[in-house]
């Protein structure tokens, strides 16, 4: 019942409710975004977009799921949308370089700024290898793997956020782990480890 009153306050534009929402979810949303987009500045931008979306569409929130699940779903979708746009820009830059209209490319690795609180690896190089492999997974596998293994969400929570059944989540997780294992084995064989 308390969540329903909170949602009503948000719908009515109550500033205290908005501040309470930010206080309760700001760090959680940022952690979700940085799990998908391992760059602090971009993750902050995406988190801001998430809250703008939440504020603008709270009137459309049906209450089919918990508010937290709805916010996580928006966080995941905004993160994936950002990744798709970034990939499109890379393709455009590649085509420009082929056609002779070079666009300056930032040679610094996108992943080296990564510092996610849920991942404790010894150095940035290992982070970069792992997250390059994760980001090469199909979206559905990447979402399930990231929410479960990096964000620490249960299969039930992942199913709620993604709108999939638990058995579907388990299947995607199995395929994601298998794909990651193959990608990482191929990388380390190529590197001579």
CB contact set of 190 (below 8 Å; sequence gap of 6+) = none
Q: Answer with the one of 80, 105, 130 that is the final residue of a domain.
A: 105
Quick one: what percent of the chain has pLDDT higher than 90?
A: 33
Report the CATH number at residue 133: 1.10.10.10
Q: Answer with the one of 105, 127, 157 that is the final residue of a domain.
A: 105
Distance between start and end Cα atoms, the chain:
56
Residues 84 and 139 reside in one and the same domain:
no
Residues 99 and 6 reside in one and the same domain:
yes
Domain with 139 in it: 106-193
* pLDDT tens by residue, 94-112: 444 444 444 333 334 444 4
Residues 29 and 63 reside in one and the same domain:
yes
Q: Which pair of structure tokens corresponds to residue 14?
A: 């109550």
Report the CATH number at residue 95: 1.10.1740.10
| Residue that has been written with the tokens 């709108």 in this structure | 163
Comparing CA positions, the residue from 144, 146, 155 lying closest to residue 118 is 146
| φ, ψ of residue 2 in degrees (nearest 5) | -60, -40
Give me the number of domains the chain comprises. Answer: 2
Residues 119 and 98 reside in one and the same domain:
no
Q: Answer with the one of 105, 134, 164 that is the final residue of a domain.
A: 105
Q: Which residues of 24-55 are buried (b: 16+ CB within 10 A; e: fewer)?
A: ebeeebbbbbbbbbbbeebbeebbebbbeebe
Of 34-38, 60-64, 90-94, 142-146, the range with the lowest mean pLDDT is 90-94
Burial class (CB in 10 A: 0-12, 13-18, 19+), 182: exposed
Q: Torsion angle, CA of 97/100/101/107, rounded to 10 degrees?
A: 30
Residues 114 and 56 reside in one and the same domain:
no
Residue 60 predicted with pLDDT over 80:
yes
* pLDDT tens by residue, 138-165: 989 999 998 888 888 899 999 988 889 9
pTM, to two decimals: 0.67
- The DSSP-derived string for 46-78 is HHHHHHHHHHHHGGG---SS-HHHHHHHHHHHH
State the number of CA atoms in the 13 A half-sphere of 134 facing the CB.
23
pLDDT at residue 192, as a whole number: 64
């Amino acid at each position: 019942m308390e969540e329903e009153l909170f949602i009503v306050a948000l719908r009515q534009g109550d500033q205290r409710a908005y501040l309470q929402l930010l206080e309760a979810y700001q760090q959680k949303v940022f952690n979700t975004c940085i799990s998908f987009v391992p760059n602090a500045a971009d993750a902050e931008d995406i988190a801001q977009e998430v809250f703008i979306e939440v504020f603008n569409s709270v009137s459309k929130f049906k209450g089919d799921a918990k508010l937290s699940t709805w916010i996580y779903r928006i966080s995941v979708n905004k993160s994936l949308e950002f990744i798709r746009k970034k990939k499109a820009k890379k393709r455009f830059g590649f085509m420009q370089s082929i056609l002779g209209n070079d666009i300056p490319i930032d040679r610094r690795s996108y992943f080296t700024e990564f510092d996610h609180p849920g991942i404790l690896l010894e150095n940035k190089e290992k982070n970069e290898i792992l997250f390059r492999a994760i980001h090469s997974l199909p979206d559905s596998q990447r979402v399930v793997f990231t929410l479960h293994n990096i964000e620490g969400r249960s299969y039930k929570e992942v199913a709620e956020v993604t709108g999939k059944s638990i058995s579907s989540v388990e299947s995607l997780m199995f395929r994601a782990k298998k794909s990651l294992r193959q990608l990482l084995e191929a990388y380390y064989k190529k590197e001579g480890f």
